[in-house]
A and B are shown apart, each in its own frame.
Chain A
């Protein structure tokens, strides 16, 4: 099929098809370029090569079942996706989270954020020809992923942060591995700064390239480090604090010009802030995990309570993200006992997996919670909740019609808004400028194409 750029191309210019099988396009983006020698006259960005129907799939999965799908969105920081979804559902169900789980969630978020930034900058540097920087950063990421792997049992498909808490307590040796990871990452950041910050070749490739103004960035819907590189200090962790971010001490680094170098610098400085956060949170987490008491409410009771607001009326989707303005739903699971920080009392506890496999009661409880057609159901309505992901605001919009699976689930992927500005940023530039511009945006096709 002929595309716009093919129809409109000048006869004397050259059309070139960059991607989807192109080393810098990560195998998932296609850019049609109209070239006059090296200069880009016109560009057309095509996304969707990794479309897996995430949102539609979610409509056919129960609220618990679809959690593993969120791992596959931004596969560089899967824990933040887990967190975004879990917190959206907590808002909808009215579930509180124990303090220790909140601290662990912050820890995991920041680890993921650093690994996300490291991956982005590593790929960007490699595509600019600095292969050594790439391997240095990958090395640091390994140490961070060790911490994640020890606790969650997986490197990428973690599914660790669950609705109402986390899947398991931290690994007994987590402090040691975290200290190693923080130390090694600091060292790598110092090395990389030394290699790139004042390197005139790298500056030449990134300074003044891919410049976007504040207004344009906002109108495209940019968030995250890319928006902050233009000088707007918008960070979900500061703007609408979740978990315990309002109690932690960190800064939001901003750039000045909104060019590739600023995006690089903002990410570098954010990693330093995240390392600070890691240390603060590690100090806050108490040594021993609280002993989980018996379920305060029997599963059957919890389920009965959860269904008391069930209505038969058909659901109507609101045309805007009305859910984000709504207050938290009344605490159903925990009745009038929101999980106060420090309290070990929980409303309802999923029976331990060992019981599920070994005792009849455990198995029945498990069935009641998780089997098709059974289990906890959120009230009818819609919610929106967003967290600060690696490359911007990761938001989930969930519409419930009172059944055990979402009527509609929409993901607000930060990449999608960032990549929509790519055409504008590369038009009129040189062919080689596509590479650092694309690289500094941190396009993760998993969440871009959903």
Chain B
């Protein structure tokens, strides 16, 4: 019993560390990637004992700056709620990470330890529920600020997130029909086989339309450009206009966590999670014949690396979108969600159902 609690604790700490470090790293990636896109050099001045390391210390400098800033609460704001909003935003995204499987179960000291904090039986619903609760952070933040720009921002944010959750949910229905489980670990396992003997049986190949809807709706859920309605820094400055220091930092950090979360979900649901094409427990079995033996510990390492690589690819892709496209207008975002993504989601469900019934 004690051992089990300890194992879960260790996994919680590891997962949180991984997420936070990756988010810190992403702030650096965003700076550097946008710099490369825009013919700039990007952050490279932060140094520790003269060691600059391509500006890799910049995130820590940012964190220190935010920590030491005055914790300012405007006199016209609602103190408790003003404090609660960033904490809520952060919590509900961070807690979602517990459902994500990082790798297959490993055998350690005679125990079977899944590389996942908790293997919920309705993990998919849990993820969607937590994403919905994140809306409260924005709504409360804007309301508690007592600023009209912030209020407009939070209302936009609430409307946008709720609308896109519909599309997000619909896009996943088709996936559940194909992989009949809500357990994320099961969904990943289902994607282990091959299609037509050579194609990995990933969600993207079974549900291409579903993935498109999921990814676009997910982009809108992260509320970054081109869907950054709640922020819209040149129009309404954003729902966190009245925030500064660490509380603002939490909001920003939540954005990066959402990027990671969306990447992790896209990987888990549509890109085989920790699966590597043709790699089974014993080693590679190539479709053109031939096998390659791989030690069990190496298989686990490869799987975790594969998951990380896929997550990182999607993070990179999202940052690329962020710095390429202009911002939508609020009504266009709503139109896009309700008139394009939701119908496409429904079409995807119908098509999936027809194909499944015909088989």
User: Which residues of A does B touch, CB under 8 Å?
Assistant: 14, 16, 22-24, 35, 37-38, 125-132, 135-136, 139, 195-196, 199, 201-202, 204-205, 430-435
Contact = CB atoms under 8 A, between A and B. Distances in A.
A228 to B, nearest CB: 24
Contacts of B156: 38
Which 5 residue pairs across A and B have the least CB separation, nearest first? A129-B327, A127-B234, A130-B326, A135-B38, A129-B326
A136 B38 contact: yes
Interface string B138-164: 000000000011001001100000000
B335 to A, nearest CB: 9
Nearest to B233: A23
Interface in B218-268: 225-226, 228, 232-237
A171 B34 CA distance: 36
A115 to B, nearest CB: 18
A132 B329 contact: no
B39 A135 contact: yes
A24 B235 contact: yes
A446 B143 CA distance: 37
A433 B327 contact: no
Interface in B36-70: 37-40
Given A201-B226, A201-B326, A432-B329, A22 B237 contact: yes
A14 B237 CA distance: 17
B110 to A, nearest CB: 55
B237 A131 contact: no
Given A23-B234, A201-B226, A431-B236, A131 B323 contact: yes
B328 interface: yes
Contacts of B236: 431
Given A16-B148, A432-B329, A132 B234 contact: no
19 contacts: A14-B148, A16-B149, A16-B152, A23-B233, A24-B235, A128-B326, A131-B34, A132-B34, A132-B37, A132-B323, A132-B324, A135-B40, A204-B328, A205-B329, A430-B331, A431-B235, A432-B235, A435-B234, A435-B235
A38 B152 contact: yes
Contact of A128 (B39, B152, B327, B331): B327
B291 interface: no
Name, among B40, B156, B225, B236, the residue most crowded by chain A CB atoms within 10 Å (CB to CB).
B236
B314 interface: no
Contacts of B232: 129, 432
A126 B326 CA distance: 8
B162 to A, nearest CB: 16
B325 interface: yes
Q: Which range holds the interface residue count of chain B?
A: 20 to 34
A128 B323 CA distance: 12
Interface in B298-332: 323-332
Nearest to A125: B326
Contact of A130 (B39, B149, B325, B330): B325
**Which of A430, A431, A432, A433 has the most B CB atoms < 10 Å from its CB?**
A432
Contacts of B234: 23-24, 126-129, 435
Given A131-B34, A132-B38, A201-B328, 13 more contacts: A38-B152, A127-B235, A128-B234, A128-B326, A129-B228, A130-B325, A132-B37, A135-B38, A204-B328, A204-B332, A205-B326, A205-B332, A432-B232
A89 B141 CA distance: 59
A16 B152 CA distance: 10
A129 B225 CA distance: 7
A28 to B, nearest CB: 15
B326 to A, nearest CB: 4
Contacts of B155: 37
Given A132-B34, A135-B39, A431-B235, A38 B330 contact: yes
A158 B32 CA distance: 35
Contacts of A132: 34, 37-38, 323-324
Contacts of A432: 232, 235, 329-330
Nearest to B226: A201
Nearest to B331: A430
A23 B152 contact: no
Nearest to B148: A16
Nearest to A431: B235
A22 B152 CA distance: 15
Contacts of B228: 129
A433 B232 CA distance: 12
Contacts of A125: 326
A51 to B, nearest CB: 25
A49 to B, nearest CB: 18
Nearest to A432: B329
B327 A38 contact: no
